[in-house]
Amino acid sequence: MREVEFAAKIAYCSIEELSAAQKQLVEKAKNACDRAYAPYSGFAVGAAVELDNGEVVLGANQENVAYPSGLCAERVALFAAAARYPQAAPLRLAVAAKKTVASPGGQPAFTPRPVTPCGACRQVFSEVERRYGRSMEILLYGTQETAVIANGEQLLPLSFSM
């Protein structure tokens, strides 16, 4: 028998500690939240993927009453990028989330802590990295802290592959 131990390396920082390029991508992800269709969850997620050709492609979650027919913002952005620019490799992906329904006495607001991607999105990150032969930095925004992750493998070390 052999045992294998996995560890993820995730850096947490304030938005001010990000590079100018990282901040700009996070802002685009935050703005993409306004494109979400989230009438059931009241939870808007926006994503922005920066490609090696200089393009930035946005995505937003799209819900459907026939769950699970909707799609997460991360996959919307990555699939749209691959459809529009199939030869361009993703360099980094930023994700932001906010509640679209205000709490009593409050306003709709971005989440204080980063929202982590679902398992299906993590598997897509892994496949995208294999497809293009390079890592994709992942930025998960929260108002109190932002997570900076070097690549998809940090989020899904035992991804499915053939």
Catalytic center residues? 74
Provide the token pair at 145: 């802290």
Closest alpha carbon to 53 in 82, 10, 16? 82
Burial (CB count within 10 angstroms: exposed 0-12, middle 13-18, buried 19+), residue 24: middle
Could you tell me which residues are beta bridge partners of residue 58?
48
User: For residues 94 and 106, is the Cβ–Cβ distance under 8 A?
Assistant: no
d(CA 95, CA 116): 9
How far, in Å, CA of 151 to CA of 10, rounded?
10
Q: What SS3 state is found at 50?
A: strand
Distance of CA 100 to the CA centre of its chain: 18
